[in-house]
Structure 1
Amino acid sequence: MVKPIVSIAMVTYNHAPYIVEAIEGVLRQKTGFPIELVIGDDYSTDRTREIILDYQKKNPEIIRIIPSDKNVGAKKNFFRTTKSCRGKYIAFCEGDDYWHPADKLHKQVEYLESHPKCGLLFTDCDVYYDGSGKVDKNYNRSKGFVSPVNLTIEQIMGDGLIKWTCTAIIRRSLFETIVESDPILHQSGKFLMGDTQIWTEAALVSDVFYIPETSATYRRLGESASRSDNPVKRWQFWKSAAEMKLYLCDKHKLPEKIRQKQEAAWCDFSLWLAFYTQNAALAEEVRKKKEAFSWKEWLRYFGAKNIMVWHAYLAVSRFCGLFRKKNDQAL
Structure 2
Amino acid sequence: MNNNTGLKVSVLMLTYNQERYINEAIRSVMLQETNFPFELVIGNDASTDCTGTICADWQKKYPEQIVLFNRKKNLGLQQNFIQTYAQCRGQYIAICEGDDFWTDKRKLQIQVDFLDTHPDYSTCFHRVINYYEDRGTKSLSNGGQKQDTDISDLARSNYISNVSALFRRGLFGELPEWFARVSTYDYAIHLLNAQFGKIHYIKRPMAVYRQHGKAIWSEAGTDRKLDIALVVRELLMDYFKERRTDVYDNLRQSHAQICLNLIRHYTGKGQQEQIEHTEKRLLQYQPQWTMEDVKRMELPRPQSTTQRLAGFVKGMMKRGRAAVSRVIPLPHI
Separation (CA, whole Å) in 2 of partners of 1:292 and 1:41 = 44
1:214 aligned to 2:214? no
Alignment of 1:1-331 (within 5 A): 3-136=6-139, 138-141=140-143, 145=144, 147-159=145-157, 162-174=159-171, 177-180=172-175, 182-184=176-178, 186=179, 188-189=180-181, 191-224=182-215, 226-228=217-219, 230-255=221-246, 258-271=250-263, 272=265, 276=271, 278-279=273-274, 281-282=276-277, 285=280, 286=282, 288=290, 291-294=293-296, 297=299
Using CA pairs under 8 Å that are at least 6 residues apart, name the structure with larger relative contact order, 1 or 2.
2
Aligned residues: CA RMSD? 2.8
> What are structure 1's unaligned runs of at least 5 residues?
299-327
* % identity of equivalent residues: 29
Separation (CA, whole Å) in 2 of partners of 1:231 and 1:207 = 32
Shift of 1:98: 0.4
Shift of 1:257: 5.2
Equivalent residue of 1:291, what SS? helix
TM-score, length basis structure 1: 0.77
Shift of 1:215: 1.4
- Tell me the equivalent position of 1:314: none
Deviations 1:277-307 (A, max 9, x none): 7336515525755614359659xxxxxxxxx
Deviation larger for 227-236 or 65-74: 227-236
Shift of 1:22: 0.3
Shift of 1:18: 0.4
Q: 1:231 to 1:89 in 2, by over 3 A?
A: closer
Deviation larger for 278-287 or 198-207: 278-287
Separation (CA, whole Å) in 1 of partners of 2:72 and 2:64 = 24
Aligned length: 287
AA matched with 1:214: P
Say which structure is richer in helix: 1
Q: 1:32 to 1:250 in 2, by over 3 A?
A: same
Equivalent residue of 1:200, what SS? helix
AA matched with 1:156: L
Q: 1:166 to 1:284 in 2, by over 3 A?
A: closer
TM-score, length basis structure 2: 0.77
